[in-house]
Structure 1
Amino acid sequence: MMHQPPAWALDGSERLTLEGFLESFGAAWARTERRFLKLECRQSYREADGVRSQEAFQPGDTELARRLLEEEAMGDQPLRDDVRARNLEFTRVRLLSYPLTDYLHYELINYEVRGPLGEHIEFLVPPSPVEGYFDFLLFDSHTALIHDYVPGPVGHQSGGWLTRHPKTLHALANIATDLRARGERVQPLKGISDTSRT
């Protein structure tokens, strides 16, 4: 199944509800001293209910979506301030597959808004099919949160798993390192069309 975490990634993990996932994020974030990395693989997501920017974008109102994304980004300013104050490496690795989905066109507006605010986002075309990768968050070398989604092609998070297993943490870090070393870096925010690659 596409984007499903393999058995080795879940071995010894704790299953979490969506609420438990958010609580575990807060606890892991508080312990993080050096690095936070987020790997985003799915090409379509359904944001949480009430995300007005996505609701505006879906029928085609990109200008309203942009304004709402700017407002939403300002709501995350405390997080960016915390990253700076603690001198954390905060990286989002976003995997792309062409042609871009409608969702990714929406997300590119979001990234265009957030990049100048200091969020570091790397866009990569992976060395193997994007469906073979799965979403996770890595906090230093002490914790990982692995996402779980409602079945279907659109990512709608239902919960996830928490792991502190050293071998799993090492393997997840290696996935990110391999993607960053062997993936094709693209710059979709600088005028690359949705059907071309650099």
Structure 2
Amino acid sequence: MHQPPPWVLDGSERLTLEGFLESFGEAWARTERRFLKLECWQSYREADGVRSQEAFQAGDAALARRLLEEEAMGDQPLRDEVEARNLEFTRVRLLAYPLTGYLHYEMMNYEVRSRLGEHIEFFIPPSPVESYFDFLLFDSHTALIHDYGAGPVGYQVGGWLTHDAKALQALADIATDLRARGEQVRPLEGISDTSRA
């Protein structure tokens, strides 16, 4: 489920979670034009202590929303940097219906972040969502591929780093194909009033 294929891992460097975060910082500093994140798992387990997710799981959507607002404001320096550096910063989010409980929570997060200026695109992919995998693409110089384990809920344990030109082009082509052949949807327009509480 959502496992990266061998072609993208050939010649890549295996990373621990700490190494993934360090490589992110290095790649981000070199990025001049575009950052793209593909998210495909329908359920993720956030790091321990994410209060907004805990509140949502406890049934308190209003508290979850307030906490998501606080968490999003903590990322304001990143949004300011994206604007100052004139970067294209896009999250491409794949959906399968019916939405999981996790995605009901995430839709509140996406709505908050969209309102603050983050660019998020939603697609129902042309192939089964399980055939896709999460990755980050930095211009055409670096990609980080997430390792979320065997599932069914994604929990990041590390990943892979690649600079291979063919792999980088193939990853960019995945995003292009999703935009061309996937069904673009606007789920934020359908967030229920209880989620907006």
Q: Same fold (TM over 0.5)?
A: yes
Shift of 1:152: 1.9
How many residue pairs align between the two structures? 192
Written as runs of structure 1 = structure 2, the 5 A alignment for 1:1-198 is 2-191=1-190
Secondary structure of 1:78's match? helix
Residue identity over aligned pairs, in percent, reads 84
1:66-117 deviations in whole A, cap 9, x for unaligned? 0000000000001000000000000000000000000000000001101011
Counterpart-to-counterpart distance in 2, 1:57 and 1:116: 20
1:75 partner letter: G
TM-score, normalised to structure 1, is 0.95
Shift of 1:119: 0.2
Secondary structure of 1:157's match? coil
Secondary structure of 1:79's match? helix
1:48 partner letter: A
TM-score, normalised to structure 2, is 0.96
Shift of 1:192: 7.0
- Runs of 4+ off more than 4 Å: none
Q: Do the aligned partners of 2:111 and 2:188 also contact (CA within 8 Å) in 1?
A: yes
Counterpart-to-counterpart distance in 1, 2:123 and 2:191: 13
Counterpart-to-counterpart distance in 1, 2:151 and 2:39: 16
Secondary structure of 1:138's match? strand
1:116-139 deviations in whole A, cap 9, x for unaligned? 111000000000100000000000
Counterpart-to-counterpart distance in 1, 2:88 and 2:80: 13
Name structure 1 gaps, 5 residues minimum.
Answer: 194-198
